[in-house]
Amino acid sequence: MSSKPLPTQSLLDLIDLFEKSGQPIADGDGQRLHGVPGWELSRKATLSDRDLAAWTECVGYAGCYPAPCGDEHILVDIEEDSDPGLYRYRCPETFRVKHIPAETAVVRAVTATKFLNYLADLLDIPQALRRGISTAAIDGVLWHLGRMRIGLLHTDVWLARGLASRIETVFQHFQQATLPDTGILFSTGPALAAMIQTPRNYRVIPLASVLTPHSATPVVDTELIRRLLVAAPGETVDHTPAVRFDETTNTLYITTRSVAPWTITGPKQIAVVRYLVEQFHKGRHRVSAGDILVAAHGSREAARGKRVPSIFSGNSQWLDYIEHDDAGYGIKLE
């Protein structure tokens, strides 16, 4: 199930909405709904009405509303008005009847199956390994997203909602002998306290924390996940740099895009990429052709009359990793 990519900030807001979609709220008949009321949805400025319609579903209407009262808000009962587009309540200050749009009282929940498959796409989990998405391991709380490739291994990946309040139940689930000893448990909520001991060799990671911060569209920092898996519990691990060049293997890594690492061959090509990465880390995202040619050929005399594309002659792959505009050459980040 593939969906159009959201901007990174919109996905972060959607992750938060998914977390809050597990919270209970009573409707007008006192029945418990699980979702986010309209007055909270309106605070997610990066999610348009179209986004909310695509990613959430109406589960009912709230039976109460935080009405303004001086500098505070007081929960008051609301009920349907004769106008189907309105709900009414009695103002706690004036005791007069006031109205709010039905969209303010609506309770919406993120559609779990669509959201979970979208995450599985981001994590590059094959469709054949997503059977746990359709049926929750713990209803409304825990799902098995499948197995994702981390380095040379395939690792089981889970997603938990409301983990802080259901931690004992969730951790008990992972004590089952039928489950692998190692896995990743992503949480849609905040990080757990460092003192909390996780079950077996499972790593609990806030989902939002593994999205590459430099990218406008969502990219998962798989190198960060790999390092978190091998780090000691509680050890701080920083995000992978947006651009990294491995001097040992002459390989370029770009974490802002879902692009395979590029292993460069040929001394001049290696010199160009090394130079561009060095300049990137100095804050220069564009450099002149003249500077690149000097880096590749060793001197201005040797570089005279040469062209940058000639260095990569017969290797069009470089165009996927290096871009050129009026400002010069630089690493292709998007």
Is residue 279, in this structure, part of any structural domain at all? yes
* CA separation for the pair 128, 139 (Å, rounded): 22
pTM: 0.79
CA dist 67 and 75 (Å) reads 6
Same domain, 127 and 60: no
Confidence at residue 2, expressed as pLDDT on a 0 to 100 scale? 45
Asked if 116 and 17 sit in the same domain, the reply is no
Residue 236 lies in a domain: no
Q: Is 237 among the domain residues?
A: no
Instruction: Work out how many domains the chain is built from and give that number.
Output: 3
> What is the reported pLDDT for 258?
77
Same domain, 103 and 134: no
Domain boundary among 206, 230, 254: 230
Specify if 235 maps to a domain: no
Position 192 in a domain: yes
Domain boundary among 166, 198, 230: 230
User: How many residues are recorded in the chain?
Assistant: 334
216 belongs to a structural domain: yes
User: 22 with 101, same domain?
Assistant: yes
Residue 182, classed as helix, strand or coil, is strand
Could you give the CA distance from residue 248 to residue 25 in angstroms, rounded to a whole number?
A: 56
Range of the domain at 142: 112-230
Query: Could you tell me if 65 and 87 are in contact, meaning their C-beta atoms sit under 8 angstroms apart?
Result: yes
Are 147 and 54 in a shared domain?
no
Whether the Cβ atoms of residue 59 and residue 17 lie closer than 8 Å to each other: no
pLDDT at residue 64, as a whole number: 96
Q: Report if residue 238 sits inside a domain.
A: no
Could you tell me if 84 and 141 lie in one domain?
no
pLDDT of the residue at 3: 53
Residues 57 and 124 in one domain: no
Question: Same domain for 177 and 278?
Answer: no
Instruction: Among 110, 142, 168, identify where a domain stops.
Output: 110
3-state secondary structure of 75: strand
Residue 268 and residue 298 share a domain? yes
Tokens of 131: 């059977």
Judge if 201 and 273 occupy the same domain: no
Q: Are residues 267 and 187 in the same domain?
A: no
Let me know whether 210 and 253 are in one domain.
Answer: no
Per-position pLDDT tens, the chain of length 334: 445 678 999 999 999 999 999 999 999 999 999 999 999 998 887 898 899 999 999 999 999 999 999 889 999 999 999 999 999 999 999 999 999 999 999 999 999 999 999 999 999 999 988 888 999 999 999 999 999 988 778 899 999 999 999 999 999 999 999 999 999 999 999 988 878 888 988 999 999 999 988 788 898 888 888 888 887 766 777 777 888 898 889 999 888 887 888 999 889 999 999 999 999 988 899 999 999 999 989 888 888 888 999 998 877 889 999 999 999 999 998 8
Contacts of range 166-174, beta carbons closer than 8 Å, 24 or more positions apart: 166/138, 166/141, 167/192, 167/196, 169/138, 169/141, 170/138, 170/141, 170/142, 171/198, 171/199, 173/137, 173/138, 173/142, 174/199, 174/200, 174/202
Report if residue 28 sits inside a domain: yes
